Structure 1
């Protein structure tokens, strides 16, 4: 199972990138894969081909009207079942004995 964290943004589109982020989040949400939106990117969980297909779809949607795109991707693969988006946070909270502000 793969946890993939990525951010994708166009160059020369001004300060507010929320229209482009919203476009990508629509694709991510409709993928049906578990995900977590953060202020600096999005984490998606699934099989390699599934998560890479989502990133590719986001790129293809952005390049329609963006001539230059910056993308950062971080990938963590671990054999076994899914559910790590929540399980990894829960494990740290268990260790601390309290809920964290996530």
Structure 2
């Protein structure tokens, strides 16, 4: 499965509203997990089995808790049993489709 999640504290007391210090702690947890992952400006994606992925999400959330009075967690999951390497595989298929080579076979002409 792939889980995309975003975790951030609120009630930090920072005048600029920045949460980068807290998010850095969450990303450190993800990186230390050893699971395939990718972090973008708004989400971190992590791939693995259900229990191991959610263990990391929980630990990342706990790493953010000291930075504010509450924590916001957003999760989206792609659950596809029997598939691995989809963190990159999905993007590779998308790029092939954009380039016009989606791997589909054309119907024979009559």
Q: Do they fold alike, i.e. is TM over 0.5? A: yes
* Residue in structure 1 matched with residue 7 of structure 2 by the alignment: 8
Unaligned runs of 5+ in 1: none
Q: Flag the structure with larger Rg.
A: 2
Runs of 4+ aligned residues of structure 1 deviating over 4 Å after TM superposition are: none
* Residue in structure 1 matched with residue 47 of structure 2 by the alignment: 45
Is residue 68 of structure 2 the alignment partner of residue 66 of structure 1? yes
* Residue in structure 1 matched with residue 19 of structure 2 by the alignment: 17
TM-score by length of 1: 0.88
CA distance in 1, matches of 2:59, 2:93: 32
Deviation at 1:82, TM superposition (A): 1.1
Change (3 A) 1:17 1:85: same
Deviation at 1:11, TM superposition (A): 0.6
Deviation at 1:66, TM superposition (A): 2.7
Deviation at 1:20, TM superposition (A): 0.7
Unaligned runs of 5+ in 2: 101-110
* Residue in structure 2 matched with residue 57 of structure 1 by the alignment: 59
Q: More strand by proportion, 1 or 2?
A: 1
TM-score by length of 2: 0.82
* Pairwise CA RMSD: 1.4
